[in-house]
Each structure stands twice: as C-alpha cells, then as structure tokens.
Amino acid sequence: MVAELIDGQPARALGVIHLKDVVKAGMRERFDEMRRMGIRTVMITGDNPLTAKAIADEAGVDDFLAEAKPEDKMALIKKEQEGGRLVAMTGDGTNDAPALAQADVGVAMNSGTSAAKEAGNMVDLDSDPTKLIEIVQIGKQLLITRGALTTFSIANDIAKYFAIIPAMFAAVYPSLDTLNVMRLHSPTSAILSAIIFNALIIIALIPLALRGVQYRPSSASKLLTRNLWIYGLGGVIVPFIGIKLIDLLVQFIPGI
C-alpha cells in the first residue's frame, strides 16, 4: 500500500501495489500433461509457505516445499531416490546446484548461473522448466522402440520356427505332421521361404528402428499392454502369413 502523510492531516491511502511471480502462459497445461505421463511434480522454493502455495496452485504442480535451503532441496531428492524413484530437477540458481548434481537428470536453465549450468546434465536454451516433457518423451520413445523391436523379434522367431520345423521333419517324424498347420510345399521350400522372409522382415523393420515408435502420454502398464498386443501378437501372426505367401511362390521354382 502507498500512503501519504501530511503534517496535521490524517494519513491518506494513494493506492495498492500488487507484486507477484508471474506464471508463464500454458504452464498449467504442461504440468497436466506431465501428470498424464505419470510424473509427479514438486515445486521447491525459498519463499514463504503462503506464497509458495499460491504459485503452486496457479501453476498446477502436485506438491511444494517452501522456505527450502540448498540442503533441503538435496535432501528431498535423496529421499525420493531412496524410494526407488528417478528424479529430474530443473533450476537456475547457485542454490540449485547441489540438487541439480544429485538428481538423476539435472536440467539447468540457460538464464541461470554458471554454477547451475555446470552442476546439471544439460542446459535448456529456452529456460522452460517444463522442457522435461520433451526429455521424458524422447527417453520413453527410445525405450518403447527398443522394447517393441525386441518383442517383435522374439515373437517372430518363435512363430517362424514353429511354422517351418514341422514341415522340415514331418517326413522323418510323421507325428510332427499334425503341427504342420501351414501345409508348406516341401522341407526345401519351407527353409527357403523362412530365409527370404527373414531378409524381408529385417528390411521392413529398419524404418521403425530409425523413426521410432510414436509415444503417447500414458502409464507404463498401458504402454506395455499396447506394445504386447501390437508387436507381440503381430510378431506371431506376420511370420505365418509371410512364410506361407512366399512358399506359394517358391514352389513353382524347378527342383523345389
């Protein structure tokens, strides 16, 4: 409040000045997206609890720690890590440096101090704390892509051998003929079809490996279920269809 006091007259209020930290536009939506990704957000500040709560509510973070000293920030990160959680930290001040160094992923703001930049694992040129979303998305996309390729490859190999082994050994072990559900033309065509299919599927998977599997914000269990349905079941079905189609073509090769 700004007031005027003149000798012999009562004090007179001239106005009120309202000072507050400004939350960047779109920050709440970004924190909501983090929540959908399964990320719990905590704001750590040296401000008093009332100010911290007001900013936390406006920004949409899950929790806050007020009147925090550098050792308090580092202690909170250690506590979360001891609970088996991976912790990412964003900060721009010298007081943030110990916590940035302790975190599993430390992201220093480009507008921050040299101490913060040296302590972090990376520097965000845009000085946007929610840039963690992009970092997590890239990391999860890499993990999902690797998991998808591994799941598809294992399922593909199991189905492939289940498809060709009965055809290869049915003549020697007639009991295996009941497993020859694909009715491949001959043991030779079965082997040749599997080799051709294997070469083609490797080429077909190269774009997926380079581009990566598209990541959508979701829980880990839902991502796992989605991958198992698409790449696990797909890895089982594709070899049967592919080998059978190739067998239908190679059987016309003389001597097969």
Domain edges within the chain: 23-133, 135-250
Kindly report the average pLDDT of the chain as a whole number: 86
Q: Higher model confidence: residue 153 or residue 188?
A: 153
CATH superfamily name and code, 23-133: HAD superfamily/HAD-like (3.40.50.1000)
The encoded tokens of residue 218 equal: 């979701």
Average pLDDT for 223-230: 86
The alpha carbon of residue 90 and the mean position of all alpha carbons in its chain are separated, in whole angstroms, by 18
Helix (H) or strand (E) holding 240: helix 233-250
User: Is the pLDDT assigned to residue 79 strictly greater than 90?
Assistant: yes
pLDDT number for residue 119: 93
Average pLDDT for 182-198: 83
Half-sphere exposure of residue 85, counting CA atoms within 13 Å on the CB side?
14
Sign of CA dihedral 185, 188, 192, 194: positive
pLDDT number for residue 11: 76
The 10s digit of each residue's pLDDT in 148-176 is: 999 999 998 888 887 778 777 777 777 77
